[in-house]
Structure 1
Amino acid sequence: MNNTVGETSLTLRDVAAAAGVSLATADRVVNGRPGVSAKTARKVHEAVERLGFRPLAAAAELARARSWRFAVMLPRGSNRFMMDIADNVRAQADWFRARRIGVEIIEVDVFDADGLAEALADLGGRFDGVAVVALDHPRIRAVIDDLVDGGMAVVTLVSDAPSSRRQHYVGIDNIAAGRTAGSLVGRFLGRQPAGGGNGKVGIVTGSAGLRDHAERRFGFGQVMAEEYPHLTLLTPLEGRDDAERNRELVRRMLSDTPDLVAIYNTGEGSVGIGDALAEAGLARTVLCVGHELTPATRRMLLDGTFAALVAQDPGHEARSMARVLHALVTGQEIVAAQERIRVQVILRDNLP
């Protein structure tokens, strides 16, 4: 059989398509780099043999034509912090273009495990890497593992799924962030008064299934139990980072808890909390600590509705995510110190 036409016209993209894997995965297998399962590597080798592909003959073409496709999967809705991350991803257009990287931002309901799992699974074979705000759920972990097994680079962003096989997490230490919030609440309120007495602390959270929120609650509870046992934590209420939901939750909280002294919000939707307090005439009376610096939380710091914010830099996270994904698909080293995201405490006195 004469394979001359096929041999001279074949590219690594043809091998990737025949094996049903990404170009990055085919490249790793053909060039003997790690990070691909035995099952996937076998499919690539079978495609190489079946097509009569000659890697050395295609090396020059590959160097000229290599490109990558990344997906960034963010929560759908009005979460200002996530919108800031998306804006910072778009601001890197020149950086991506210089490295022949195409990026697609995909918005999904990250609180819906089935919908998020379906959206993630749909990425297989279409992208070389994905950064996802992950719900810590068995279905999500299984899909992430399948994507990694298929050769895709997977990075979790802001909220982790550590028991999955994701290759890297980009975000702050959320237990430390929760402990920081606990210390702020406790120190602002002060130690138990000499005559006894205590108070209730409400917690508004996005979802029990988002690990960043769960870890923040855990860290917050540690500090409260260890250092401020006279303060009683109420059962966390889930507002799914939605301002209107949070407003209704805090309205009920205020009605049911006359001795409420503080509210800790583990996520977005702080404006709803502020609105409910203002309606009740309790703004600047009930202590509030939340997360992330946005136009709304900036205003509430300035007017005293919130005493402090525990924040992270969305620009750093977007840049780190891009660098980490690029390093993963190209086999480069990840510089840990460069990608460490710091926990920041912001008061109205040090507003940037």
Structure 2
Amino acid sequence: MKPTVHDIANIAGVSLATVDRVLNGRPGVRLVTRGKVEEAIASLGYVRDLAAANLAKSRTYSFVFILPANDNSFMIGLTEEVRGAVARSSFERTDIRIVDVPPFDPDALVAALEAALAEKPAGVAFVAIDAPEVRAAAERLRQAGIPMVTLVSDLPDSSRDHYAGIDNIAAGRTAGSLMGRFLSGPFLGERGATVAVLAGSMLVRDHRERLEGFSTVIAQAYPNVHILPVLEGRDDPVLAETMIADALRRNADIAGIYSLGAGNRGLIRALQKARGPRRPLVIAHELTASTRVALADGIIDAVLNQDAGHEVRSAIRVLKAKADGLPVLAAQERIRIDIFLKDNLP
């Protein structure tokens, strides 16, 4: 049988109330008495079941999710996953509040983090912008003892506790390998091939890391593939459509397009309207309603996907664990990269 608090009380010769004070780090226990309780805990090998304790106390975890609000299918889906968690809050003992901020706006994100700091929730999850002022705000939350999880886009070398998202350098490398293989043959002649890259913003680390991985593989394995300067469409479908249409007009020899952000609806519209002897090969991110149809119709050739639901569930699990002082199971929280072609659409 597992040792109980009654066993601790008997060995230490104290009351259950004293054991409870020691376990919860509350004052009112003499140093000598506290030592006896801790010795009893060690001798029994007692491990506290914090989940059961919290359930018995009807503890509710208050979490703040700070998410970019824009016309972005993936982020809309991510927000819906958080709303699903809100709907399950009574079963999961959570109280989740969603805060919308403009995309790619460090000042707005900092203001939201400062507001969360004033509330002192049990944890905060946010889509990070890699900027000094955001790091400074995260450090202030850390100093206040508030656990933090970054979603989708990370803020490494900061005070955050965990990152719930894919390895974006690996995703970019995968896209580079697929692009090089797809272009080999009729597309990749003696003169090589030209590839356009559509990003949201280089302010966010996930986009920079995808570009880094993509460019590295192309340079190392496919040196006759030329990458054009990155187009930053701010994940805005209208702006993305304009940029891609203009790029196709100015560069008739574009053989491939890597869409590493979320402006895919605009990209698809531009490709549908384009006129030319040959359609570019296209690799994009996130399996949404629009990319699914484009993949099935042959407008997009491959989609790299991350599971937004897994990321949200992971963030909640990690924030709960951090609030309870429990370890995080790394294998459970790893977000995988899925590769979809028209032939394996789920």
Question: Which TM-score bucket, shorter chain as reference?
Answer: 0.7 to 0.9
Which residue matches 1:72?
65
C-alpha deviation, 1:64, in angstroms: 2.7
Does 234-243 or 280-289 show the bigger shift?
280-289
Which residue matches 1:253?
247
Contact 1:153/1:325 (<8 A) preserved: yes
Helix, strand or coil: the match of 2:118?
A: coil
Which residue matches 2:44?
none
In structure 2, how many angstroms separate the alpha carbons of the residues matched to 1:315 and 1:83? 12
CA pair 291-62 structure 1, distance change in 2 beyond 3 A: closer
Which residue matches 1:38?
none
Contact 1:88/1:318 (<8 A) preserved: yes
Alignment deviations for residues 131-176 of structure 1 (CA, whole Å, 9 cap, x no partner): 1000000000110111111111100000000021100000000000
- The code of the aligned residue for 1:123 comes to A
Helix, strand or coil: the match of 1:183?
A: helix
In structure 1, how many angstroms separate the alpha carbons of the residues matched to 2:324 and 2:107? 31
CA pair 244-328 structure 1, distance change in 2 beyond 3 A: same
Which residue matches 2:113?
120
RMSD: 2.6
C-alpha deviation, 1:92, in angstroms: 2.9
TM-score (ref. length: structure 1) = 0.80
C-alpha deviation, 1:117, in angstroms: 0.9
Helix, strand or coil: the match of 2:148?
A: strand
In structure 1, how many angstroms separate the alpha carbons of the residues matched to 2:178 and 2:270? 22
Helix, strand or coil: the match of 1:125?
A: helix
C-alpha deviation, 1:94, in angstroms: 6.2
Q: Is 2:342 aligned against 1:348?
A: yes
Contact 1:75/1:107 (<8 A) preserved: yes
Q: Identity, % of aligned pairs?
A: 44
Helix, strand or coil: the match of 2:203?
A: coil
In structure 1, how many angstroms separate the alpha carbons of the residues matched to 2:270 and 2:85? 38
Which residue matches 2:232?
238
Q: 1:102 aligns with which of 73, 89, 95?
A: 95
C-alpha deviation, 1:255, in angstroms: 1.7
In structure 2, how many angstroms separate the alpha carbons of the residues matched to 1:112 and 1:142? 15
Which residue matches 1:290?
284
CA pair 283-318 structure 1, distance change in 2 beyond 3 A: farther
C-alpha deviation, 1:88, in angstroms: 1.9
- The code of the aligned residue for 2:100 comes to E
Which residue matches 1:269?
263
Contact 1:182/1:224 (<8 A) preserved: yes
Contact 1:79/1:268 (<8 A) preserved: yes
CA pair 194-161 structure 1, distance change in 2 beyond 3 A: closer
In structure 2, how many angstroms separate the alpha carbons of the residues matched to 1:239 and 1:175? 20
Contact 1:263/1:286 (<8 A) preserved: yes
Q: 2:223 aligns with which of 219, 222, 229?
A: 229
TM-score (ref. length: structure 2) = 0.82
Which residue matches 1:14?
none
C-alpha deviation, 1:89, in angstroms: 2.2
Which residue matches 1:151?
145
In structure 1, how many angstroms separate the alpha carbons of the residues matched to 2:129 and 2:259? 19
Which residue matches 2:205?
211
Q: 1:332 aligns with which of 297, 309, 326?
A: 326
Q: How does 1:132-147 map to 2 (within 5 A)?
A: 132-147=126-141
Alignment deviations for residues 10-30 of structure 1 (CA, whole Å, 9 cap, x no partner): xxxxxxxxxxxxxxxxxxx99
Which residue matches 2:74?
81
Which residue matches 1:179?
173
CA pair 108-61 structure 1, distance change in 2 beyond 3 A: closer
CA pair 62-174 structure 1, distance change in 2 beyond 3 A: closer
C-alpha deviation, 1:67, in angstroms: 2.4
- The code of the aligned residue for 1:197 comes to R
CA pair 287-142 structure 1, distance change in 2 beyond 3 A: same
Contact 2:187/2:193 (<8 A) preserved: no
Helix, strand or coil: the match of 1:78?
A: coil
In structure 2, how many angstroms separate the alpha carbons of the residues matched to 1:193 and 1:284? 10
Question: What 5-or-longer segments of structure 2 have no aligned partner?
Answer: 1-21, 29-52
In structure 1, how many angstroms separate the alpha carbons of the residues matched to 2:282 and 2:166? 21
Helix, strand or coil: the match of 1:319?
A: helix
Which residue matches 2:43?
none
In structure 1, how many angstroms separate the alpha carbons of the residues matched to 2:309 and 2:277? 31
Contact 1:277/1:283 (<8 A) preserved: no
- The code of the aligned residue for 2:174 comes to T
In structure 2, how many angstroms separate the alpha carbons of the residues matched to 1:89 and 1:96? 10
